[in-house]
Amino acid sequence: MRRLLSFCGASAMLFSSLATAHELNVVTTVQPLNLIVSELTEGVAHSEAILPAGTSPHDYALRPSDVKKIKNADLVIWVGPQLESFLKKVLQGNSKNLALTEQAGIDFRHYGEEDEHEHEEHHHEDGMENAEHDHHDHEHHHEGIDPHIWLGPKQAIEVAKVITQQLVKQDPLHKEQYEANLSRFTSEVNQTITQLTNELKPLAGHGYYVFHDGYGYFEEQFGLKNLGHFTVEPDRRPGAKTLMNIRQALQDHQAYCVFSEPQFSPAVVDSVVNGTEVKVGTLDPMATGIVAGKGGYVRFLQQLGQSFTKCLK
């Protein structure tokens, strides 16, 4: 009997060891999303982003190595088809994926019908001269969910809660650790919201232009004054009318700053700003250079805040 009990005890220990030996392999798409996920999986599971650092998802094409990572993943976390259209086909029939725009509990922004933009074409060249030979400008509606949810601190907390629920569902043995990570993440982000609110409040009336229409969550959180954007999406060339209107606003001293993005050539921004006194800054929505791990997402928010502060003062 004693031998039987010893055997059963050893078997139970072996089973427990095997049950905890498998570390969840989580794959995300863009680095900012991976910053959130890596905070939640800290000390428990592995996460990595498919897209190389600094790469925009708007015009990305999957590589064979990316497809392999997706197929080998225990969980694929993506924003949704509104952003990563390149994933729709490869994820068909794959139940191990979490599309965030399809989840409840997240306060999404929606592009309204009042957001009317000029016709913008897919670009092959940058520069004002090229833009002036565009087809006739006409209104372009940007509709549906704004997928840039990682740029909203409040939404990032909501996203983290949704992801934690999925992690616990797939890996219940580590429920306590996932929830502890979520609690720490939530606290740190809330502290950062308070910090950035104090830093950005004096700049609330300082207008600016951004390269593409992707910062709404951050702007709404901190009450910033976005005067407009060059393009609805980075892979669309700004229309000539848009560029002329922005340039006129700059000449009329309506803006403190124009922001470009490191993922795209600044040529079109430089062309419009040339000859004016407006400052030029850089906003990096893709968290280039931010290392995933504890505090990574907070560092990303602080970097954005510093970029706004530096150019809008």
- Confidence class of residue 3 from pLDDT cuts 50, 70 and 90? low
More confident residue, 155 or 141: 155
- Confidence class of residue 51 from pLDDT cuts 50, 70 and 90? very high
For the cut 90, the answer to whether the pLDDT of residue 88 exceeds it is yes
For the cut 60, the answer to whether the pLDDT of residue 8 exceeds it is no
pLDDT digits (tens, 9 = 90+) for 168-183: 999 999 999 999 999 9
For the cut 90, the answer to whether the pLDDT of residue 113 exceeds it is no
Q: What are phi and psi of 235, to 5 degrees?
A: -90, 15
- Confidence class of residue 45 from pLDDT cuts 50, 70 and 90? very high
pLDDT at 138: 41
Q: Mean pLDDT throughout 284-305?
A: 97
- Confidence class of residue 119 from pLDDT cuts 50, 70 and 90? very low
pLDDT at 14: 44
Q: So what CATH class is 24-104+149-193? A: alpha beta
In the chain, what are the domain boundaries? 24-104+149-193
d(CA 308, CA 284): 11
The angle formed by the CA atoms of residues 47, 53 and 59, to the nearest 5 degrees, is: 105
Listed in sequence order, the DSSP H helices in the chain are 2-21, 31-41, 64-72, 128-131, 153-170, 175-200, 216-222, 240-251, 267-273, 296-312
- Confidence class of residue 284 from pLDDT cuts 50, 70 and 90? very high
Position of tokens 């910090």?
A: 195
User: Please, which residues have CB within 8 angstroms of residue 253's CB and are 6 or more apart in sequence?
Assistant: 277
- Confidence class of residue 142 from pLDDT cuts 50, 70 and 90? low
pLDDT digits (tens, 9 = 90+) for 237-276: 888 999 999 999 999 999 999 999 998 878 899 999 999 9
Least reliable range by pLDDT among 46-60, 214-228, 234-248: 234-248
Q: Mean pLDDT throughout 104-120?
A: 69
pLDDT at 264: 85
Structure tokens at 153: 């601190």
d(CA 313, CA 216): 20
d(CA 178, CA 79): 20
For the cut 60, the answer to whether the pLDDT of residue 205 exceeds it is yes
Mean of the per-residue pLDDT values of the chain: 87
pLDDT at 22: 78
